[in-house]
Amino acid sequence: MWASPFAKRVEVALKIKSIPYEWVEKDLKNKSDLLIKYNPIHRKVPVLVHNGKPISESLVILEYIDETWTNSPRFMPSDPYKRSKLRFWANFIDQQSPSAAARPGLDLADPSVLSFRKPCSRGSHLIHLVVVGD
């Protein structure tokens, strides 16, 4: 099993914005009480926890990061039309990715969607919670 490319998106965004964070990994086969607490609907990763408040879904998290930490670089364009186009294409790519995500090593966090990741060495099934500001 490979680490979540959707969680990797969040990690990359936090690094780009120089936001300190704690990365929490758990066994995906046995979803933790913490994951169920922070994402009771979907019970999946990634989840960003900022000041005790959980935000789920990688694209939603990226927008939250961009709106909360307004330092450069900005991820979303200021123009509403350009933002809508970005959201459209990001959603389109996500809808195409479930079959692609099943292929080992495909890094969907990469903008080109063509690069490959190394397998995670810490365990075979991982979930990711990112905690900021706690």
| CATH for 5-132 (3.30.470.10, 3.40.50.300, 1.10.10.10, 3.40.30.10) | 3.40.30.10
HSE (side-chain half, CA atoms, 13 Å) at 22: 9
HSE (side-chain half, CA atoms, 13 Å) at 28: 14
Mutual angle of helices 5-16 and 58-68, in 10-degree steps: 10
Please give the order of strands across the beta sheet that includes 53-56: 22-27, 126-132, 47-50, 53-56
Residue 113's pLDDT is 35
Predicted TM-score (pTM) above 0.75: no
Residue 108's pLDDT is 43
- Find, among 96, 98, 117, the residue nearest to 106 by Cα: 117
- Find, among 54, 28, 51, the residue nearest to 40 by Cα: 54
Residue 86's pLDDT is 92
Domain boundaries defined on the chain:
5-132
Instruction: List 26's β-bridge partners, or say none.
Output: 127
Kindly list the averaged pLDDT for each block of 10 residues, start to end, along the chain of length 134: 74 90 77 86 87 90 94 93 92 71 46 32 39 56
